[in-house]
Amino acid sequence: MEMFYNLFLFVSVLVCVIDPSAGEGKLVMVNLVYRHGDRSPIVMLPKDTHQLDDWPNGLGWLSKIGMSQHHALGQWLRNRYTTENTLLNKTYKHKEIQIDSSNENRCLMSAYSNLAGLYPPTEEEMFDPSLKWQPIPVHTRPEKEDNVINMGMSCPRYDELLTETISSKEVQTVETKNKEFYSKVENYTGMSGISINTLWMPADTLFCEKAHNLTLDPWAYEEYNNMTIYERLRKLDAWQFHLLYYNIEMAKLKGGPLLKEMRENMNNRSSKANYTGPKLYMFSGHDTTVAALLSALGLYKDIPSSPGYAACVMLELYKTENYYYVEIHYKNNHQMESNASTILKLKGCEKKCKLEKFLSLTDAAVPKDWRKECYTRNPPSRSGIHLSTSEIISIVMAVVLIVTLVCLIVTCVKLKRTTSEGYKTFVNS
């Protein structure tokens, strides 16, 4: 028996010697996306006790809590990528990192707060001895031109799919079941038209008030079907959030463009012998950005709830002597005080997923021609065309201008003919 045991140990050692890649690889690149930090509400509830006076910086604004959350995440990333792994230099090197952000103030401010934690300046880097901060560029683009982070670029096919989802029997059954509940919420909040599309507004506003230690109005704690109204709003909001990426095509259209960029970054790193590009690609976005990427990867179901403030997904690329592999890590705000992050496993692959297999498994989730794939499958009929007020005004003004020009041309022609005839009469007399 002892002989077989010794033989087993010998073979195990031999395998490790023959195949050095059987051990841990070296971290060579990270693509990460995170949600912005804690913020003020997006909307005010007309009948709510708390109004704009309670939010001096305005609506949708990153709070001090949110700044602190991202500063802490930046410190965690610094420890992970400069101490645990030597991916990044401990001092800021602009060629090592690229930061892109949604064009929302809270996302831009989150990125700057994060970078303050990731790259605290040394004495040599400080331009003002009293300021322990250094400027690091963050790139952004207008909302309507961004299909990667903000996802505000128009995609009619996605809108069509979302409408179909909301109109499905499953969702309409929930709508009918909650009709009385919606009516109650409308009565308490002063809002109208509460549905699965809009209930996120009161749910989010109450959540923000609670997070900032503001006392909720008594109705929020009223019992309704074995839970409080607040709890029911939060539960329905989480379900509604899931509907945004209800099927593979919806996830592909929203999360696919970001996944495509991350795949291209990793492919460039692995295929170029003399790669000199960034080692860390950082994307500062929203809960929808994080959820869209996870949905495109088929991993959204693997996280316990919708992405909270400062939730972060990291696609880490490792290199062994023989191949590259990818690890997917998820860190939520509750894990911020520890070094913990959750490793997510791509369906059909190991936690250490070889890059070639990762690219193969995720290929279907990446749009080949996003603009073309965003074309609607059901173009509207003439009776279904709807124009905005500004579009109607523009059309009317254009018509008026054309008519005016035509009238002016006709008048000029008539005037020219009259002048010419008068001159001929005068000469002949």
Residue 419 CB neighbour total at 10 angstroms = 9
Give Cα separations from 31 to 104, 144, 192 (angstroms): 21, 24, 42
Contact 276, 235 (CB under 8 A): no
Helix, coil or strand: residue 361: helix
Active site residue 287: yes
Catalytic pick from 54, 212, 242, 287? 287
Catalytic pick from 36, 50, 71, 329? 36
- For every residue of 226-253, which 3-state class applies, written as one string? CEEHHHHHHHHHHHHHHHCCCCHHHHHH
Rounded Cα distance, 415 and 66, in Å: 72
Q: What DSSP designation does 43 have? A: S
N-terminal to C-terminal alpha carbon distance within the chain? 138
Residues near 70 by beta carbon (within 8 Å), at least 6 away in sequence: 34, 36, 37, 110, 111, 113, 114, 117, 310
Give Cα separations from 304 to 228, 328, 330, 342 (angstroms): 21, 16, 11, 11
Q: H or E element: which one contains 407? A: helix 389-428
Give Cα separations from 330 to 218, 300, 350, 397 (angstroms): 36, 11, 16, 53
Active site residue 128: no
Single-letter amino acid, residue 22: A
Length of the chain (residues)? 429
Give Cα separations from 279 to 30, 95, 369 (angstroms): 6, 8, 27
Rounded Cα distance, 266 and 326, in Å: 9
Give Cα separations from 352 to 20, 134, 280 (angstroms): 15, 36, 19
Q: Catalytic residues, which ones?
A: 36, 287
